[in-house]
Amino acid sequence: MGMPRKLAAKLLRAAIRLAPPQSREWAAAMLRELDFIEGDWAALFWALGSFGAIFRHAATEWRAYFTNQENKEEQMNETGKKAIGFASGALLALVVSLSGLGLLWILAILFPGLGIDHLEWTHFLGAIVIPEIIFVVSAVLLWRKRTPVAAGILLTGIGIAIHVAVHLATH
């Protein structure tokens, strides 16, 4: 089995793993057909086209799911909506903070020569200053249209800032 065919099989196996349940059967069907395609490159082009088709099908399923969720959200009472908005704001803020830390960690591994591990200001900048600026800007932008989300972002940002202040004071 040539390299293009191996790649084609890997691509379609990945599609089976990643696709939502409704698209999985189709991805499996496309993978089975690989055995009957003459030519390694033809198999690879078949897999690339199939992967695109599965991706578009999955996107349709996801869009339908999110539309359904939005409809459910519309049917909720005001308190429920606010709670979900607040929680999603808080979650977004946490994700941004963790991404900042993750980015620093990756940079420290990829470029050990920079000595990011030992530079305190990089931690301060990547994990606190930049995320806090993002929180404030996004909270200001979202305040009028999505107040609960903005409040979630802002309160989580304040919580993280307090945590860091206490950490700096005690260490």
Partner 1 sequence: MKLRMSPQTVLVLDAFLEEAEDWKYGYDLSKNTGLKSGTLYPILMRMAERGLLETQWESGEPGRPPRHMYRFTPDGLRFARTNASANAGSGLGQVAMGLNVLGLVEA
Say which residue the tokens 């929680």 belong to: 87
Residue 38, phi-psi category: left (phi > 0), alpha (psi -120 to 50), beta (remainder): beta
Cβ closest to partner 1, residue 50 vs residue 156: 50
- Residue 86 identity (one-letter amino acid): F
- Residue 88 identity (one-letter amino acid): S
Q: Which of 9, 24, 45, 91 binds partner 1 (CB under 8 A)?
A: 45
Cβ closest to partner 1, residue 54 vs residue 151: 54
Paired tokens of 155: 């309160």
Q: Is 6 in the site for partner 1 (CB under 8 A)?
A: no
The whole-angstrom separation of Cα 58 and Cα 6 is 24
Specify the stretch interacting with partner 1 by CB under 8 A; choose among 20-28, 74-82, 140-148, 156-164.
20-28
Paired tokens of 160: 């993280």
Nearby residues of 57 by Cβ (< 8 Å), 6 or more positions away: 19, 22, 23, 26
Q: Is 26 in the site for partner 1 (CB under 8 A)?
A: yes
Q: Is 30 in the site for partner 1 (CB under 8 A)?
A: yes
Q: Is 14 in the site for partner 1 (CB under 8 A)?
A: no
Q: Is 138 in the site for partner 1 (CB under 8 A)?
A: no
CA proximity to 89, closest of 145, 133, 158, 155: 155
Instruction: State in angstroms the smallest separation of the CB of 34 from partner 1.
Output: 9
Q: Is 1 in the site for partner 1 (CB under 8 A)?
A: no
Q: Is 120 in the site for partner 1 (CB under 8 A)?
A: no
Q: Which of 9, 14, 16, 28 binds partner 1 (CB under 8 A)?
A: 28
What is the H or E stretch that residue 114 is in? none
Q: Is 63 in the site for partner 1 (CB under 8 A)?
A: no
CA proximity to 24, closest of 2, 55, 1: 55
Chain positions contacting partner 1, by CB under 8 A: 25-26, 28-30, 32-33, 35-37, 42, 45-50, 52-54, 56-57
